[in-house]
Structure formats: structure tokens, C-alpha cells
Amino acid sequence: MRKVFDFHGGVHPLENKHQSVRTAIADAGIPPELVIPLSQHIGAPSNPVVGVGDHVRKGQVIAEALGFVSVPKHAPSSGTILAIEERLIAHPSGHSAPCIVIATDGKDEWAPLPDTRPYESLDKAELLELIRHAGIAGMGGAGFPSAVKLSVKAGITIDTLIINGTECEPYITADDMLMRERSDRIIEGAKILHHLIAPGETVIGVEDNKPEGIAALRKAAEGSGIEIASFPTKYPSGGEKQLIEILTGKQVPSGGLPSDVGVVCQNLGSAVAIYEAVVEGKPLISRITTVTGEAVNEPQNFEVLIGTPVSYLLQKAGYEPSKNDRLIMGGPMMGVTVRDPSVPVVKTTNCLLAPTPQELPVPPPAQACIRCGMCAEACPASLLPQQLFWFAQGKEFEKLEHHNLFDCIECGACSYACPSSIPLVQYYRASKADILHQRKEQEKAEHARLRFETRQQRLEQAEADKEAKRAARKKAAEARAKSAVDDGNGEDPIQAAIARAQAKKAAQQGGGNESEQEKLEKTVVAARKRLDTASKKLEEAKVDGSDLVDALQSGVDKTRAKLDAAEKALAALGEAHAAVAPESEPTDAAQAAIQRAMAAREAEAALSPAEEAKADLEKLEQRLEKTRSKLAQSQASAGEEKVIEALTSTVQRLEQKVEAAQQALSETS
């Protein structure tokens, strides 16, 4: 016997499983209409590949998988595509979703099945592709695509492959009946999975409240090396994390995957579906569903085609709507109430529960939390539900996360145990949604902030680059000028100025047009590129049926318009450029200034030092004459004393200067 471990918490709700195991699995038959939702599980919805009015045969692909976490959908029976439209589905929020509706013809004609090969001869990738193509998604809980769950990353060794036959929810007996009636298929499926995963051991875990099923499995498993482990009945031992702890004693790290502790889990029903896909080539188009509750007269299990309306199935079990006020898809602990019985059975529908109001009474109004701690004792994740409740009421999100709200598996054990009848799980769901929403908002804000900062940085960088270039140019110019002066024989600064000015002028005239043209050419090229990518995106969006199509379309139109404008402008510029006549001799101010400067320089350069001194002397003598005559005038007209004084001193200074100049002249000559 295998050593089994216990997990913290858990509750013991009334089993109520005996009602639906009295008869064998019945065939629910072919309903007149099948409704196949394009999304039946976590991950991307699939994409329809049939049109309205097409005839389809049983097993034919009607919708292709989109993306990695997605599986195709197959026609569960032959008939005609009636519509591809929004239909009500079983969802907590009671919303509609796109569905393919098939009007069945009752012939149940199979499409040709692919040839199969012995699974031993198939490699891992081939097997995964088969499983994926057969549309197999987890048939117990969230319906995660099986091929994804089975794709273990390279380098990770799996010690234990667990087939989950726990079925811990009250009322549900679908897996129990599978064990009793199809244990061979379960074991074969388990063998295929064993071959695929190559684990150290393969274990089928079953709660000990299914002795017949366990016996049947043990018999079928003889000699196969597959172990059947049974353990005490306690809700929620069928939760993946709880089952892993029961069978291995290990806990999956928070936020991690079972493969982190060397475990891969698969549902029992999925194992059978995998057997049928690999060995018989049949896609997943039907499942076992328990129909039970006191509002049905013949509670039992049915083999149901996916897409069968719930109302059709209920009627098969003798449903009395007058007795029923609450219709639950799934079990009484985690099931979802169905608003309208027209919703279809999907790949995860393990149970339809139609209880009477006496059987599952509406909860009484919630009383005050007395912090009795019964919820904490019941919690399989070892959380403190009463504290979480307190924080949830106060919307204290940080405290909620600190108390590990996101490790809550929403099993409902706390609500079940609460003496004050507080809908605890409801509070946690709402808080989780609030927190996720808040996180998304924060992410958006953070993204916007980063974008802004990056832009700001880019602008600053561009400015700094420009400044640096400017500084470098200035420095180079100064260095050039200095070296010219130092060398004496170097380039004349004036010549350099002339050359620079001429270059600038030339650039302004012909080059100016050229750069504009270049700019326009660049614009055209860029616009073309943008138009290409935008068109591509638009195509993709159209294929996806994304709601961005309109936005993308307008984007493409705008880009095209811009491109046209740029091309026109370019053409116009080309013509204009051709039309401009060749430039005449430059006659602008810069040129004139240069010429003047040159003339002055030449004149100055022509004078010898002696001549210079002579010229100075002449100038001084002239000034002396002028001042003297002014002084004589002032004295004659008896002007102010001060003026006379000032003029007298000026005359004296000038006389001295003239003397100095005469001396200098005599020295030079």
C-alpha cells in the first residue's frame, strides 16, 4: 500500500452519490440541435472553418485552434451548420458567447477517421499533436488544454504521473461510472500517458468512497505497473494541489506548476479521451455527465454529445421543472448556476444538478462573523478566511495579498463551514477581480510613465548631442584660427572666413533644395513602410475577428493619404527645382563685406612703417592746427576761462605728441 498524506482542512459534505450509480451509463442520443461554443476552456477561442449551410460529418473539424493554449472543435454528429452566432453559455456571469450551431440529420455519419499507429511507435511531439488535434481539454476542472499540460519543459524530470479519479464533489459520479464500466480504457489511456511523460511512476488516485471503481481499476491494471491509490474521502481532495500533496507529500509552490515538484496531473476522463484519440483516432465529441438531484426522477449518468442543450439532457432524466429552483452545472461546492436550460453541455460539464429547494436550501441571511475560526480549520490552503473576509470588507487590497488571497482555490470549504452563513468565497472572488483590475490599471499607468520618460530622455539626448557637436565645431574653428595665426604662413583667417561664407551660401542655394528633397524622399519611404506593416496588421486582425479592425482600417487609410501627399510634394519639388534658372554672380551683403575688408587690408598692407609715421604726424599736425585756431577764437571772443584753459592744455598735449611723432619719423627714416 502506498503511503498517503493528509492535507490541512477540508470538509465532509453529504456525499449524495448513491442516487446516480444505480443504472449503467445511458446514451443521451442525438438532440435536434447542437451548440458548440468556440471557447470551452481557459485560453484562446477557436476559429470557425465552416460556413452556414455547410454539411458536416461527425468528427469533422469545424473550428481550428488559435494559438498554443487552444484546441480545435469537432462536429459531434453529422448535420448542417445552422448558424454561427452568439448563444447563451454556462458562465458565472451568464453571458453569451460565439457558438457554432449544427442542425443534426440523425444519420450520425462519421467523417473518415485518420489512420492510427501503435502509440509505442510515436514520439512525444507526434503524440502531443494527436492529443491536441483531438480537441482534448481537461475534463474535470478549468478545462485546460491537455496537450499544453502534458508539454513538460525539457530538462524537467517527472517522478509521478497522477491520474485524478478523486471526484470529491458530492453528487457527481461520472468518473466513478467510467471506472466501473471502462476501466480498460482508463488503464490504456494511462499507459499512453506513461509512454508520453516517461515518469518514475504512474498513480491513479481515487477517494475510498468508490470501492467498485477501485476494484475494477485494480483488476484492469494488473501487470501494467500502474498503481491505484485510495485515500480517505474528504472535500476537496480532488483539487490538483491537494491530490498532489495526498499522493506525494509535496506542495506545489505558490504560483508554480505541478512539474516544479516533479508531478504531472491528468483527469481520468481526459485519459479515456486520450486513449480514444490515439488508438481509435476519434476526437473528443462526447463525455459522461451525471444528471442528478431530487428534481429529476431518474438520476443517472449519460454519454452526452458535446453541445447537447441542457434542457434536452434533463428531459432524458425525467426533470420536473416545478420542483427545481436552482440548476447547477457542476457539483454543489463549485458548480455554476445556469440561468436558462438552453445552454449547451461543454467538455467540462461533469454534472447537472437539479436540486429541490429543500435539498439545497437558499442560505439564510449572513450573521456577524464571530471569528470562530471554523473556516480556517476547513481551508485546504491554510489561509485565514476570517481575516481575508475582514480585509475584503474594508477593500484592504495590500493586506489581502499579504494574507495570500491569491492562493485561495475557491473550493467553498470555508463558506460551507461558516456558522454565520457568510458567503466568504463570493467576497474573495470579488476582491480578486478588484485587485486584478487595479493591477491592470497600474500597469497601464506605469507603461505610460515609462513611455513619457523614455521620450523625454530621447529629446534631452538629442539636444545634448547637438550641443556637443556645436561645441566641437567651435573648438575646431578656434584651433584652426589659432594655428593659422601662430604659423603665420597658415591659412589666412580672412581667406578661411571667405571660404566658409561661400560654402554656406552655396549650401543655402542649391544644397537647400537638395536637403528638402532628401527629406521628402525619406518621408515617402517611411510612409510606405508604415503602410505595409499597418496593412499586415489589419489582415491579421481581420482573420482574428479582432475588434481592432476598424481602428486599424482608419490607420491604414490615414497612412496612405500621408504617403500620397508626400509623393505629390516630392514630384512638385522636382519640377520646381528644374524650372529655377542657373544662379547669377553672387551679389549679396556678405560678399560685399568681404570685398571691403579685403580692400582695406590691402591698402593698409601697402604702407611702409616710415610712411605710417609720416601719416600719423600729418594727422596730428592737422589736429593741432584745428585746436589752435579754436583757442584763438575763444580768446578773441573772451570765452569762458575753463574752455580756454582746456583748449590750452589740449594744444600743449598735441604739441608734445607732434614732437614725439617727429622724433619717431626721424628714427624710422
Stretch of 133-141, 212-220, 360-368, 626-634 contacting other proteins, by CB under 8 A: 360-368
Strand order across the 201-207 sheet: 227-231, 201-207, 160-164, 263-267
Residue 396: CB minimum distance to other proteins, A: 13
Write the CA distances from 47 to 41, 50, 99, 226, integer angstroms. Answer: 14, 9, 10, 38
Q: Which is nearer to other proteins, 227 or 245 (CB)?
A: 245
Q: Which is nearer to other proteins, 79 or 238 (CB)?
A: 238
Q: Which residues contact 358 (CB under 8 A, 6 or more apart)?
A: 294
The site string for other proteins over 83-122 (x = CB under 8 A, - otherwise) reads ---------x-x----------------------------
Nearest to 388 by CA among 408, 368, 370: 408
Write the CA distances from 564 to 362, 374, 410, 525, 550, integer angstroms. Answer: 68, 73, 58, 11, 21
Write the CA distances from 141 to 17, 146, 373, integer angstroms. Answer: 19, 12, 28
Residue 363: CB minimum distance to other proteins, A: 6
**Among residues 86, 208, 212, 407, the one that binds other proteins under rule CB under 8 A:** 407
**Among residues 174, 383, 566, 665, the one that binds other proteins under rule CB under 8 A:** 383
DSSP 3-55: -----S--B------GGGSSSPPEE----SEEEEES--SSSPPPEE-S-TT-E
Stretch of 105-113, 362-370, 457-465, 629-637 contacting other proteins, by CB under 8 A: 362-370
The reply on whether position 142 binds other proteins by CB under 8 A is no
Q: Which is nearer to other proteins, 110 or 390 (CB)?
A: 390
Q: Which ranges in 31-123 belong to alpha helices (H)?
A: none
The reply on whether position 358 binds other proteins by CB under 8 A is no
Strand order across the 61-64 sheet: 47-48, 61-64, 73-74
Stretch of 96-104, 129-137, 203-211, 397-405 contacting other proteins, by CB under 8 A: 397-405
**Considering CB under 8 A, how many residues would be counted as binding other proteins?**
76
Q: Which is nearer to other proteins, 50 or 413 (CB)?
A: 413
Residue type, 33: E
Q: CA 435 to CA 487: how far, in whole Å? A: 76
* Cβ neighbours around 259 below 10 Å, total: 18
Facing residues of 279 across strands?
none
Quick one: cell of 38?
468556440
Between residue 606 and residue 645, which ones bind other proteins under the rule CB under 8 A?
none
- In what helix (H) or strand (E) does residue 524 lie, and over which residues does it extend? helix 512-544
Stretch of 108-116, 157-165, 253-261, 646-654 contacting other proteins, by CB under 8 A: 253-261
The site string for other proteins over 39-78 (x = CB under 8 A, - otherwise) reads ----------------------------------------
The reply on whether position 391 binds other proteins by CB under 8 A is no
Q: The dihedral of CA 401, 11, 332, 237: what is its sign?
A: positive
| Residue bearing cell 485587485 | 435
The reply on whether position 238 binds other proteins by CB under 8 A is no
**Among residues 374, 520, 658, 665, the one that binds other proteins under rule CB under 8 A:** 374
**Among residues 245, 276, 286, 311, the one that binds other proteins under rule CB under 8 A:** 245
The reply on whether position 416 binds other proteins by CB under 8 A is yes
Between residue 468 and residue 527, which ones bind other proteins under the rule CB under 8 A?
none
The reply on whether position 432 binds other proteins by CB under 8 A is no
Per-residue b/e over 272-306, b at no fewer than 16 CB within 10 Å? bbbbbbbbebbbbbbbbbbbbbbbbeebbbbbbbb
What end-to-end distance do the CA atoms of the chain give, in Å? 131
Phi, psi values for residue 101, rounded to 5°: -105, 125
**Among residues 125, 362, 579, 581, the one that binds other proteins under rule CB under 8 A:** 362
Q: How do 79-88 and 160-164 pair as beta strands?
A: unpaired
**Among residues 6, 303, 377, 655, the one that binds other proteins under rule CB under 8 A:** 377
Q: CA 415 to CA 66: how far, in whole Å? A: 38
What one-character DSSP code corresponds to residue 95?
Answer: -
Q: Which is nearer to other proteins, 196 or 408 (CB)?
A: 408
**Among residues 395, 402, 568, 653, the one that binds other proteins under rule CB under 8 A:** 402
Residue 28: CB minimum distance to other proteins, A: 21
The reply on whether position 251 binds other proteins by CB under 8 A is yes
The reply on whether position 426 binds other proteins by CB under 8 A is yes
DSSP 550-607: HHHHHHHHHHHHHHHHHHHHHHHHHHHHHHSPPP----SHHHHHHHHHHHHHHHHHHS
The reply on whether position 149 binds other proteins by CB under 8 A is no
Q: Which is nearer to other proteins, 323 or 562 (CB)?
A: 323
Nearest to 400 by CA among 439, 442, 365, 452: 439
The site string for other proteins over 183-222 (x = CB under 8 A, - otherwise) reads ----------------------------------------
Between residue 296 and residue 335, which ones bind other proteins under the rule CB under 8 A?
321-328, 330, 332-335
Residue 429: CB minimum distance to other proteins, A: 7
Q: Which is nearer to other proteins, 216 or 353 (CB)?
A: 353
Q: Which is nearer to other proteins, 439 or 455 (CB)?
A: 439
Q: Which is nearer to other proteins, 269 or 412 (CB)?
A: 412
For residue 265, give the 3-state DSSP assignment. Answer: strand
Stretch of 4-12, 453-461, 508-516, 574-582 contacting other proteins, by CB under 8 A: 4-12
Q: Which residues contact 492 (CB under 8 A, 6 or more apart)?
A: 484
The reply on whether position 566 binds other proteins by CB under 8 A is no
Q: CA 79 to CA 61: how far, in whole Å? A: 13
The reply on whether position 168 binds other proteins by CB under 8 A is no
The reply on whether position 386 binds other proteins by CB under 8 A is yes
Stretch of 114-122, 132-140, 160-168, 408-416 contacting other proteins, by CB under 8 A: 408-416
